[in-house]
Amino acid sequence: MTIQSQTISRLTLLAATAITALSLQAGAAQALQKNVLFVIDSSNSMWGQVDGTPKIDIAKQALVDLVKKMPQETKMGLVAYGHRFNHKLNDCDDMELVSSVGSVNNETIQDSLAVIKPNGQTPIANTLMEIGNWLQPNLEEDNTVVLVSDGLESCDGDPCAAAASLNKAGIATSIHVVGFDLNNDQRSGIQCIADNGNGQYFDAKDNDGLVKAFEKVREVVETKPIKVAQAKIEPMMASDGVYFEDNFDGDALGTHWTIDKENAESYIVEDGKLTVLFGDTGNDTSSYKTTQNIFRLDKKIPKGDWTMTMRVLFTAQTHKEWLRMGLTKDQDNSMLTSLQMHPYNYALTLLNARADKLAKGANTHFVSKIAQFDDNNVTARTDKMAASTGSALLRLTKQGRNYISAVKLEEAEGAGDKAPNTNWVELQKLTSLKLPGDAFSFLFGHGTSGYVPKNGEGLVEVDWVKIEKN
């Protein structure tokens, strides 16, 4: 996945989050609270010097002076990017809300800036996306973003598109940019952030230039027309912590997915679903050495706790289907939740929920039966399953070092008394001291059994995939 496609998909979500339902308030209109969120470039290049002084030191002192001059009624916050991880790590999620809106003032600004030491990359687009989350508590207020940067985006993102979406969503009414020590090419590449964000661009070549640019920023913020609330803003969607979501709209797989062992003839995106054909993986029951089309999300796994959920539609074509999702690294290391069809004998097929941990090839797993379908005729068993269920939710939740798998069958239309257990079936937790994989993934295959025919292909439709921060 390119960071640019992350920008589009995640800011589409942020825009939806900021769409509001308006209900008129009684009484007079009220002026909205003015907020300013400063975003300081703390990438490794900020150690560069201007007139013998590191740029980061010049920027910090100029910001301290600016904060002292800001009106007392203006609430301020501070964001930094590129300050936590070495630039050689190419970490494009290195951004932090150092001080939330309302916590920066004359007395706190120096302490807030003290933790910022230039180190890493320049993920401007990702930072703007996170600002959409960080400003959720302030959606009913007038938010201005002021970005100070000495360079261009270094993470393949599109900060200009991000700025446009952030402004269009109403999350930030203005995004101003101060370009510090930029050449002409860099200036044209960053000015579009201000242009698309309904803001202004200010250029600064040295300390005096930065002080003057900040003074202009202060004047623009102070003289900005007071935004009046004629209606109460109630977000239709609260900040639900959605980190990623794909509904497979369009007619092509999003570029945020990479595919290991790709067989392009065996999958297609259409009608809002990803449809995948898959073959026999033999006795490869715990690993996935022979599995084709392993879909891996090209997006960093977030720190902290999270939940990955996937909705699938399935049919019992081989009665050995195995639908898996979770974290993968390679064929010997993974943490996966599965819906597994298991032909127990010639007359019985089980639908199982399964949790698997692979650590250097060693497998630990738990299995729980959800439903069973019996008939000596395999076609009749297929029909019984289809009359009962044909879709399911798979879930993997990270809680600290524990990983909890769960599966929930959905009732087929008109199932009646044939309906399955539709409660979440949660399996015993698995534990891993380190991340058991390096990418959110899903993959499909079917096994070998003497109880059903060995030939044939499985078929699954993926309706959506969602990852939420807990």
For residue range 428-442, what is the model confidence (pLDDT) as tens digits?
Answer: 999 999 999 999 999
Which residues make Cβ contacts (< 8 Å) with residue 283, sequence separation at least 6? 447, 448
Contacts of 35 (CB under 8 A, 6+ apart): 74, 75, 76, 77, 101, 102, 135, 138, 141, 142, 143, 144
Give the type of residue at 120.
G
User: How far apart are the C-alpha atoms of 81 and 44, rounded to whole Å?
Assistant: 10
Only one residue has tokens 């290991």, namely 260
Instruction: Note the pLDDT of residue 41.
Output: 95
CA-to-CA distance for 170 and 19, rounded, in angstroms? 8
- 317 vs 273, more confident: 273
Per-residue confidence at 422, pLDDT binned at 50, 70, 90? very high
Average model confidence (pLDDT) for the chain? 86
Q: What is the pLDDT of residue 145?
A: 95
Judged against a pLDDT cut of 70, whether residue 287 lies above it is answered with no
pLDDT value of position 16: 45
pLDDT at position 3 over 50: no
Torsion sign (Cα): 341, 344, 350, 351: negative
Give every CB contact of residue 398 below 8 A, 6+ residues apart in sequence. 305, 306, 307, 470
Does 242-469 carry CATH code 2.70.70.10? no
Nearest one of 242, 9, 17 to 126, comparing CA atoms:
9
Percent of the chain with pLDDT over 70: 87
What pLDDT is stored for residue 4 in this prediction? 44
pLDDT band at 281 (very low <50, low <70, confident <90, very high): low
Which residues are registered as beta bridge partners of 321?
A: 446
When pLDDT is cut at 50, 70 and 90, the band that residue 21 belongs to is very low
Confidence at residue 94, expressed as pLDDT on a 0 to 100 scale: 87
Of the candidate CATH numbers 3.90.228.20, 3.40.50.410, 3.40.50.300, 3.40.190.10, the domain formed by 3-235 belongs to: 3.40.50.410
Q: Is it the case that residue 418 has pLDDT exceeding 60?
A: yes
Chain segment 330-379, per-residue pLDDT in tens: 888 999 999 999 888 989 999 999 999 999 888 899 999 999 999 999 89
Lowest-pLDDT range of 17-26, 77-86, 92-101, 318-327: 17-26
Q: What pLDDT does residue 172 have?
A: 84
Give the start-to-end residue ranges of the domains of the chain: 3-235, 242-469
Q: Does position 223 have pLDDT exceeding 90, yes or no?
A: no
Using only C-alpha atoms, what is the Rg of the chain? 26
pLDDT higher than 70, residue 274: yes
CB of 167 within 8 A of CB of 192? Answer: no
Six token digits for residue 265: 């003839």
Strand runs labelled E in 331-452: 333-345, 348-359, 362-374, 389-399, 402-411, 425-426, 430-431, 439-446
- Give the start-end residues of each E strand in 72-141: 75-81, 95-104
Name the residue with tokens 């589009």. Answer: 8
What integer pLDDT is reported at residue 320 of this predicted model? 87
224 pLDDT tier (thresholds 50, 70, 90): confident
pLDDT in tens, 156-204: 888 998 888 888 878 888 999 999 999 988 998 899 999 999 999 999 9
pLDDT for 212 equals: 95
Do 140 and 230 contact (CB within 8 A), yes or no? no
- CA 455/CA 87 separation, integer angstroms: 51
pLDDT exceeds 50 at position 239: no
Q: What is the pLDDT of residue 227?
A: 58
Residue type, 157: G
Q: Is the pLDDT of residue 412 over 90?
A: yes
pLDDT (mean) for 376-391: 93
